[in-house]
């Protein structure tokens, strides 16, 4: 049984009806790459759906804030633009574009999943609840000051986007985080592989 199949069997991941078969393969590849790096499935239930071009504006994907699934478990909806899933070129990180999009949005879900759920206010998910901590804020500022390897223009925009781009590099291009980026790899390992 593949990691994606195991995730679906455990109720951790659900693909919306009509989810493109090629995109399902990208999800399986992404989860297999995560498993190879020792990253466990999230506690939250993930609902992935492919949406038409333009449904997300200019965005290629969107990870929505978590909500209670009705059974006391957080649920996170991830929308992926169909055009991004079928692109055959590579991203700035030299990762196939569709896989990059899947991993990037998955990282936003993990950002919510890593924080205590629900929070003190009873909220299940809020963007950046994990990455807005001091460690990731300092790493983000070091990245913006060019003291860490350049990941992408998007990674310089906010700490949440930096975390997502660092996650993509960690899973799909780990050599990018060697040497001067090792501190980022260690922070990801501490968060995701425990």
- Distance between CA atoms of residues 182 and 136, nearest Å: 14
Q: What is the pLDDT averaged over residues 109-121?
A: 76
Q: At what angle do helices 159-172 and 134-144 cross, to 10 degrees?
A: 80
Contact 109, 42 (CB under 8 A): yes
- Distance between CA atoms of residues 161 and 21, nearest Å: 27
Phi first, then psi, for residue 25 (nearest 5°) are -65, -35
Higher pLDDT, residue 117 or 179: 179
What are the tens digits of pLDDT across the range 57-107? 888 999 888 777 777 778 888 999 999 988 888 888 889 989 999 999 999
Q: Using alpha carbons only, how large is the chain's radius of gyration in Å?
A: 16
**Looking at the whole model, is its pTM more than 0.85?**
yes
CATH value of 3-192 in 3.40.720, 1.10.3470, 3.40.390, 3.30.530: 3.40.390
- Distance between CA atoms of residues 64 and 66, nearest Å: 6
- Domain segments of the chain as ranges: 3-192
What are the tens digits of pLDDT across the range 19-31? 999 899 999 999 9
């Amino acid at each position: 049984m593949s990691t994606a199949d195991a995730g679906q069997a455990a109720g951790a991941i659900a693909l919306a009806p009509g989810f493109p078969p090629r995109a399902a393969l990208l999800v399986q590849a992404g989860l297999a790459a995560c498993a190879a790096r020792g990253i466990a499935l999230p506690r939250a239930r993930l609902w992935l759906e492919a949406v038409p071009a333009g449904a997300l504006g200019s965005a290629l994907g969107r990870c929505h804030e978590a909500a209670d699934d009705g059974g006391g478990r957080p649920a996170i909806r991830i929308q992926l633009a169909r055009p991004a899933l079928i692109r055959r070129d590579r991203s700035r990180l030299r990762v196939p574009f569709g896989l990059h999009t899947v991993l990037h949005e998955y990282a936003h879900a993990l950002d919510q999943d890593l924080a205590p759920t629900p929070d003190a206010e009873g909220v299940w998910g809020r963007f950046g609840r994990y990455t807005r901590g001091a460690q990731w804020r300092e790493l983000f500022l070091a990245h913006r000051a060019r003291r860490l390897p350049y990941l992408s223009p998007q990674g310089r925009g906010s700490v949440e986007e930096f975390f997502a781009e660092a996650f993509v590099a960690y899973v799909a291009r780990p050599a990018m985080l060697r040497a001067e980026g090792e501190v980022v790899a260690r922070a990801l390992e501490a968060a995701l592989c425990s």
